[in-house]
Amino acid sequence: MAPGPLGAASPGISSGHLVFISAQLPLDAHGELAGATAAEQADRALENLAHQLRSTGLSLDQVVSLEIHLVDEADIAAVDAALEARFVPPYPALNLSGVPWLPGGARLQVAAIAQRY
């Protein structure tokens, strides 16, 4: 089970054929930060994303766009490796940006848009 988003937000919401998944932090089921490295945190955040998608009847296969916020640009290679491990070409569109901080000391967060076919 993935924890829900922080604040007044839905974990995910549908609009027509699109499903918008709120940013997923690398938190375990108890809301604790999971993993110390970017690779570990990326794996956990993507697992949380997959969980939220499953709750809408979708999977990572239907993701058309990802938005990833990173605290440290040195983590780009680890995040890219995590993406390559979970997605197949054609890969989702990617919006990658740097941020000065994330809740709980997380190194990254991942949001997505998926499409129902």
84: CATH: 3.30.1330.40
Rounded CA separation 105/97 (Å): 17
Indicate the pLDDT class of residue 5, thresholds 50, 70 and 90.
low
Look at residue 38 in the predicted model and tell me its pLDDT: 97
Look at residue 59 in the predicted model and tell me its pLDDT: 97
Average pLDDT in the 104-110 region? 97
How many CA atoms are closer than 13 Å to the CA of 93, on its beta-carbon side? Answer: 6
- Whether 5 is covered by a domain: the verdict is no
Q: Tell me the pLDDT tens digit for each residue of 58-102.
A: 999 999 999 999 999 999 999 999 999 999 999 999 999 999 999
- Whether 75 is covered by a domain: the verdict is yes
| Cβ(6)–Cβ(109) below 8 Å | no
pLDDT over 80 (residue 112):
yes
Look at residue 1 in the predicted model and tell me its pLDDT: 59
Domain count, the chain: 1
Q: What does the DSSP 8-state code read for residue 56?
A: T
**Domain range for 41:** 12-115
Nearest to 82 by CA among 2, 24, 16, 11: 24
- Whether 52 is covered by a domain: the verdict is yes
Q: Tell me the pLDDT tens digit for each residue of 8-42.
A: 678 889 999 999 999 999 999 999 999 999 999 99
- Whether 72 is covered by a domain: the verdict is yes
In three-state secondary structure terms, 94 is strand
